[in-house]
Homo-oligomer: A and B are copies of this chain.
Amino acid sequence: MDSNVNKKSALTENDGIEQPQSVSDVAAERIRNLRKKKINSQEIYSGILNHDKVALSKGITLVESTNPNHKNLANEVIDACLPYANKSVRIGITGVPGVGKSTFIEAFGMYLTSIGKKVAVLAIDPSSSISHGSILGDKTRMEDLVRNVNAFIRPSASGDSLGGVARKTRESIILCEACGFDVILIETVGVGQSETAVHSMVDFFLLLNLAGAGDELQGIKRGIMEMADAIVINKADGDNLNKARNAKLDVNRALHLFPPKASKWQPKVKLASAYYNEGIAEIWEMLSEYFTLTKENNYFDNHRKEQNKYWMMETIQEQILNRFYQTKGIETLIESNKTAVQENEKSPFSAASEILDYYFR
């Protein structure tokens, strides 16, 4: 709900590289040349390494660009940043709309900067292909954090596929880390597949929940609860406090039914009221415990190495399949075959053969 109001961002962002416009070819060519001069990847990564937020914004815009010419430039920036990255902690935050994600991130982010941390907030929202971020779009809720010199907030990248959006976010993490941000918060909506993508790029996965009447887990997609390293029951204040305490017991019981995690961490349930700034420090304390445990038992490092290999393979698969889907005529062929398969006129397998023969012809 709250994520759809006021899509205009209150965050001042540098424009960086814009997408090509529909203008005459000659003009387009001239603009492209101008732009080629304008984008200097070295300037961008030097700026990032000097902890310049404007350069960081430009770098992320480059990473997010759909212009194929920008791909190599983006890789240059990423590779230059890489040796300085990997020094942060990455925390995924999810929860259904209305749970208070923005308020929580504002309170949590402000607390972190108050203890000397530099906080970057990114988002993954595959539904935001036009609005350029329906979550984190509502910056009025994060007024303090937006103005904080030690914070950086960026709405979700846009894109056709979750894979693409997720990859861009994953690349942006590297840039944020090279820019000196040591806590990266990645927000996503708790309703779909994007959680799996976020889970594959964070060290810790936090699920925000609300206390309800016995339906604490309603609306949370199957599987998300099992991914969580912690469940924070938000809005645990006033009349809600007793309900929240009961919810904590219920959720705790459910969590104990799941098998132990590879990290050896037993997922925890915490109460918080982001609005009244209660329970926030305790959440960071819990996270610190987690990082101590997983750094000692090497899970932290091993997990990141696995994630890196995963992202390499994911990127390869994404691009190979993209090439297929973008082939002329494929879309129409898929649609007609889907109809035939649905009506049982063809087996899924001969339909697939037909489409593949066309592609590899």
B interface footprint on A290-319 (CB within 8 Å = 1, 0 otherwise): 000000000000000100111111011101
- In the complex the two chains form, is B78's CB within 8 Å of A347's CB? yes
Whether the pair B78, A350 counts as a contact (CB closer than 8 A) is yes
Q: Per a CB cutoff under 8 Å, which of B216, B308, B309, B350 touches A75?
A: B350
Say whether, besides A82-B347, A222-B226, A344-B86, A352 and B316 are in contact (CB < 8 Å). yes
Are A353 and B75 in contact, with the CB atoms below 8 A?
yes
A71 to B223, CA, bound (A): 37
Chain A interface mostly:
helix
The smallest beta-carbon distance between A172 and chain B, in angstroms, is: 11
Contacts of A216 in B (CB 8 A): 257
Set B250, B341, B350: member contacting A257, Cβ < 8 A: B250
B257 engages A346 (CB within 8 Å)? no
Q: Which residues of B contact A320 (CB under 8 A)?
A: 320-321, 324, 356, 359
Q: Does A254 contact B (CB under 8 A)?
A: yes
**Residue from the set A223, A337, A344, A347 with the largest chain B CB neighbour count within 10 Å:** A347
Determine the chain B residues whose CB is within 8 A of the CB of A51 once the complex forms. none
Residues of B within 8 A of A79 (CB): 346-347, 350
Cβ-closest chain B residue relative to A222? B226
Contact with B along A337-349 (1 / 0, CB 8 A): 1100110101111
One digit per residue, 1 when the CB lies within 8 angstroms of any chain B CB and 0 when it does not, for chain A 4-37 equals 0000000000000000000000000000000000
User: In the complex, what residues of B have CB within 8 A of residue A83's CB?
Assistant: 344
- Interface residues contributed by chain A, number (CB under 8 Å): 61
| Min CB gap A279→B, angstroms | 23
Verify if A265 is at the interface (C-beta below 8 Å from B): no
Contact B312 A217 (CB under 8 A): no
Contact with B along A195-232 (1 / 0, CB 8 A): 00000000000000000000011111111001100000
Q: Closest CB of chain B to A342's CB: distance in Å? A: 5
A361 interface hit (Cβ, 8 Å): no
CB of A270 within 8 A of chain B?
no
Is A351 an interface residue, CB under 8 A from the partner? Answer: yes
Q: Given that A217-B258, A311-B348 are contacting pairs, would A305 and B353 also be in contact in the complex, using a CB cutoff of 8 Å?
A: no
Interface contact B71-A353, CB-CB below 8 Å? yes
> When the two chains form their complex, are residues B308 and A222 in contact, meaning their CB atoms are under 8 A apart?
no
14 examples of A-B residue contacts, CB within 8 angstroms = A71-B353, A75-B347, A79-B346, A79-B347, A79-B350, A82-B347, A167-B349, A174-B347, A220-B259, A308-B348, A309-B348, A312-B337, A312-B348, A320-B321
Interface of A toward B, CB cutoff 8 Å:
71-72, 75, 78-79, 82-83, 86, 167, 170-171, 174, 216-223, 226-227, 250, 253-254, 257-259, 305, 308-313, 315-317, 319-321, 323-324, 334, 337-338, 341-342, 344, 346-353, 355-356, 359-360
A309-B342, A320-B320, A320-B321 known; 18 other A-B pairs, CB under 8 Å? A75-B347, A174-B347, A217-B259, A222-B223, A222-B259, A254-B254, A305-B342, A308-B342, A308-B344, A309-B338, A310-B348, A311-B352, A312-B349, A313-B352, A315-B349, A316-B352, A317-B321, A323-B360
